Structure 1
């Protein structure tokens, strides 16, 4: 084990309160990355010391204005009876910055009555302008020079302003300290640079569920996301690869962010890979039956998925993961054209695993069915996802997205193929003309506040836009008839149709038009692509990363229906 950093950072609210209690008669406005209860408690302590204080959220300040000062999501005190709410965003120098300010207002349109919110680009420097039936409020947006949200302090003694500028918070200082430790370490020249890089941070912050679908405000989740992708980008830069490259194998990057009171504690260490237990070979454990899968309210563990694969029968095959787990595949042979179904490539996208297993049970009963299934392609990532969900079940946990080597298994184009070997075997056994690759994406807003706000390279993924499809095809192929027929089948579900309509409407209010065609209420991206030998690859995308219960059941039911509908249309000749 190698320790890169072991540090403690004082809580900003505590340090600020201690400082200002020695200044009775002063007046202060502060913006920090803390929840409403902590901010109110600090303001009351200062009031007892003779200091007038207003302490606001530095993260998503406009939304917090509606939550904390207007009572949205509570009793609605400040907006009761208001017929029109017009918001103008701060002045922006670029189109991307203007879009960022629009996105930062999310999910107001979903939380307010339909049509109540008007959102326009404004010209108020550094402020949102909020008009409520003629009454205008200005909401300050504290930004660092980089454009990232930051802490801020305004301090007056009488009429004299003593300070008006950035306030370093533990949220920002913790991120900076972690990234400095990464930059200053003597890394080897050859990847992988480590087995596991664990970034353990115990800290305060905001964790608040909202009333609109799966939306929430979580600074700890945001810190996980910013650390994971920033560390990955550091190693991409160091290797001379473009940002967003998915081939680099740096090792497994694991930000582990947990709640605590008081000071923030950071420990960064390099650890050996955990070795997988052999639980999946325990024959005393019973696999979930098809009827139990149909009502499953949560993701499957790697062991549960392995047992479910065993229960399907067929001709089995397997590959090995980095941490010693098996990637299970099975092939059902028949006279119809070959088909491959895979799920769990990105292990925090979990509804596809259940949907694929449910679909396989149904397809196995189809006369002549010929298909191969790899239901959980990335069991190491799934094991990490299960562990991270123990502490943060509503977080996206993108650290579990890729393999334990840190790459995207699909991007491996030369041996050793590792986990991808199961997919390649499935294709070889079936001679597949269609690959159904089941995926998901964030079910609530995805941000990277410390590196701007909108996740670089994932701008179209920052807000959920319902269930959608991506069809990749080789040159000279045409899948439009197939896509029209498949989306018509899927849209026959009233529950899915209503779900998509609501998410697309909220997306439109905050982000503008969906950047690809919408067929039968389902967004569809159709692109020429030769990354696979299979002539057609259909990628499903359900916003599933943080959902449970009925929402998760809708997700895996939709994934199952997409597989069954696509197989039916493929075997009927719509992709010939």
Structure 2
């Protein structure tokens, strides 16, 4: 291991107490916005008030949501009308997105949003209570404008102080400990000499400890988590840095920097960060096997291989950077063949189980004909296992791509690596249909220090149900439409699935606007013609599975399984050449 950067930081909240809890500040009124959790802020308030300072410490992250949670008796509310600001440096719905999932936190109260067309970072809140009385509030959301690595202007949450002392009022931005840690780590990595040859490292590790506890919200999988948010912001910021360094456009998925691993944990002490390079991990975690049909958590790699072996057929394989093997099985029959794959993005785990369950059912057919490679990205999958051992409910996008740091889908023929599992499957079968099982976050995804909305992933920030993406060659338009109709009709018969979709879509539209998808038989669908794909039709599933467990996980892999089975049936009935 080689250390590139290491630093500890005084907590901003401690610095604030030291600055104001002294005799010279008695009688002052202080309003501060910090990233600290409620317990820490309340403790600091009490200390300051004991020193004669009238202090109110609020959250700089999702301030409107925290305002309702911490300052409003939502059980007594009848209605809320909320005007959200707009700013030229961010998407029009940015401040609306930050209110998510407020409408699910206020009981039976009705909530309406409207744009104020003001750029003052302030929400206008009008409340009507069940007893008839009304209140109006101004909820400040401190933000700063700054330039990103590409020179674009961003608007990001930040710390803030409003001070009233001896008749003098002042307001100032407070660069918090969280912001300092983030920017110092990115700056240190940006200044390091990485050479000019990809990959630049085996593992680039960013280990940080934050004193901010996660706060579970009383709705679905939603959690306010700055440890998760920092993981996401560090990971994607570093991808952007290396994309820029390599001369690629931001968002390019062919970049191969190596495996970037932010490991962000809770610690009650001072915030700290250490950046280091490490050897690539090559060991697989081990653990108990689960019954596939009732699996309540992602499977260990050893069980995935064992389940594959029980299918029989012909084994074929590819290799990952670490030396791990990507396994596939070819079941040969006289039906029209299908390719089944999972875990291209290894933090999307419901598809692994769904693929195996579908294969178990397909082999009972007399003429079954398919390939299955349920774990295409074993290096990312093991990283996901490692990260979930500490933070099991985080989405961990660092495990999304391969240990090369790229999305295997975008590899060229010269260096296929894991992607060779697909070219071999197509060569074995000549399949016209590839069912590629994916997932996406089951709770809100943010990058609070880089504009809040994840760059290039604005449509993925909130869950919007189980949806389908179809990419087809131009000549296969009619067959693709038949496939989607057949699959969605089949899925609509699954108890509760359409209802879940409707609920998530309604909440998405309330807090983000239109989904931009066609709704087909109750399922959002995105169908596009794309001749770049070698298989005539690719059906991509997107289940909100990052990161769910228990009955929710079972529902997820059941939906994935049923999609495969329905697609196989549609291929035989409707869309043969």
| TM-score, length-scaled by structure 2 | 0.94
CA contact (8 A) 2:395 2:547 kept: yes
Q: The residue matched to 1:494 in structure 2 has which SS?
A: coil
Q: The residue matched to 1:306 in structure 2 has which SS?
A: helix
Match runs of 1:231-270 below 5 Å: 231-270=238-277
Deviates more, 1:476-485 or 1:60-69: 476-485
CA contact (8 A) 1:301 1:382 kept: no
CA contact (8 A) 1:89 1:98 kept: no
Q: 1:159 aligns with which of 155, 167, 170?
A: 167
Q: 2:97 aligns with which of 89, 103, 117?
A: 103
Q: The residue matched to 2:560 in structure 1 has which SS?
A: helix
Q: The residue matched to 2:91 in structure 1 has which SS?
A: helix
Is 1:31 aligned to residue 33 of structure 2? yes
CA contact (8 A) 1:27 1:158 kept: no
* CA displacement, residues 118-141 of structure 1 (integer Å, 9 cap, x when unaligned): 011014522101111242111001
Q: The residue matched to 1:539 in structure 2 has which SS?
A: strand
Residue 148 of structure 1 corresponds to which residue in structure 2? Answer: 156
Q: The residue matched to 1:544 in structure 2 has which SS?
A: strand
CA contact (8 A) 1:198 1:271 kept: yes
- Report the alpha carbon displacement of residue 547 of structure 1 after superposing the two structures with TM: 0.7
- Report the alpha carbon displacement of residue 114 of structure 1 after superposing the two structures with TM: 6.4
Deviates more, 1:521-530 or 1:17-26: 17-26
- Report the alpha carbon displacement of residue 103 of structure 1 after superposing the two structures with TM: 0.6
Structure 2 CA distance for aligned equivalents of residues 250 and 387 of structure 1: 20
CA contact (8 A) 1:200 1:267 kept: yes
Structure 2 CA distance for aligned equivalents of residues 129 and 494 of structure 1: 41
Structure 2 CA distance for aligned equivalents of residues 436 and 97 of structure 1: 34
Q: Which runs of 5+ in 1 are unaligned?
A: 71-76
Residue 61 of structure 1 corresponds to which residue in structure 2? Answer: 63
Residue 74 of structure 1 corresponds to which residue in structure 2? Answer: none
Match runs of 1:289-438 below 5 Å: 292-438=291-437
| RMSD between superposed Cα atoms in Å | 1.6
* CA displacement, residues 63-110 of structure 1 (integer Å, 9 cap, x when unaligned): 10011111xxxxxx2x3343221110014336x532101111111123
Residue 14 of structure 1 corresponds to which residue in structure 2? Answer: 14
Structure 1 CA distance for aligned equivalents of residues 343 and 206 of structure 2: 24
Residue 151 of structure 2 corresponds to which residue in structure 1? Answer: none
Q: 1:287 to 1:105 in 2, by over 3 A?
A: closer
Q: 2:281 aligns with which of 263, 274, 284?
A: 274
Q: The residue matched to 2:49 in structure 1 has which SS?
A: helix
Is 1:86 aligned to residue 85 of structure 2? no
Q: 2:209 aligns with which of 202, 222, 231?
A: 202
Q: 1:130 aligns with which of 125, 131, 145?
A: 125
Residue 235 of structure 2 corresponds to which residue in structure 1? Answer: 228
Is 1:182 aligned to residue 189 of structure 2? yes
- Report the alpha carbon displacement of residue 34 of structure 1 after superposing the two structures with TM: 1.0
Q: Which runs of 5+ in 2 are unaligned?
A: 129-133, 147-154
Structure 2 CA distance for aligned equivalents of residues 575 and 245 of structure 1: 35
CA contact (8 A) 1:33 1:206 kept: no
- Report the alpha carbon displacement of residue 512 of structure 1 after superposing the two structures with TM: 1.4
* CA displacement, residues 401-422 of structure 1 (integer Å, 9 cap, x when unaligned): 0000000011111222111111
- Report the alpha carbon displacement of residue 574 of structure 1 after superposing the two structures with TM: 3.1
Structure 1 CA distance for aligned equivalents of residues 108 and 318 of structure 2: 50
Residue 529 of structure 1 corresponds to which residue in structure 2? Answer: 530
Q: 1:522 to 1:113 in 2, by over 3 A?
A: farther
Structure 2 CA distance for aligned equivalents of residues 91 and 562 of structure 1: 40
- Report the alpha carbon displacement of residue 287 of structure 1 after superposing the two structures with TM: 6.2
CA contact (8 A) 2:30 2:55 kept: yes
Q: The residue matched to 2:113 in structure 1 has which SS?
A: strand
Structure 2 CA distance for aligned equivalents of residues 256 and 530 of structure 1: 39
Q: The residue matched to 1:531 in structure 2 has which SS?
A: coil
Structure 2 CA distance for aligned equivalents of residues 260 and 80 of structure 1: 33
- Report the alpha carbon displacement of residue 275 of structure 1 after superposing the two structures with TM: 2.3
Structure 1 CA distance for aligned equivalents of residues 383 and 235 of structure 2: 14
Match runs of 1:532-571 below 5 Å: 532-571=533-572
Q: 1:424 to 1:117 in 2, by over 3 A?
A: same
Q: The residue matched to 2:236 in structure 1 has which SS?
A: helix
- Report the alpha carbon displacement of residue 2 of structure 1 after superposing the two structures with TM: 2.1
Q: The residue matched to 1:513 in structure 2 has which SS?
A: coil
Q: 1:286 to 1:217 in 2, by over 3 A?
A: closer
Q: Which stretches of structure 1, 4 residues or longer, exceed 4 Å deviation after superposition?
A: 285-288
- Report the alpha carbon displacement of residue 575 of structure 1 after superposing the two structures with TM: 5.3
- Report the alpha carbon displacement of residue 301 of structure 1 after superposing the two structures with TM: 2.2
- Report the alpha carbon displacement of residue 3 of structure 1 after superposing the two structures with TM: 1.2
- Report the alpha carbon displacement of residue 304 of structure 1 after superposing the two structures with TM: 2.2
Q: The residue matched to 1:253 in structure 2 has which SS?
A: strand
* CA displacement, residues 361-411 of structure 1 (integer Å, 9 cap, x when unaligned): 000101201000001000100000001001111111000000000000111
Q: 1:575 to 1:183 in 2, by over 3 A?
A: same
Residue 487 of structure 1 corresponds to which residue in structure 2? Answer: 488
Structure 1 CA distance for aligned equivalents of residues 271 and 322 of structure 2: 31
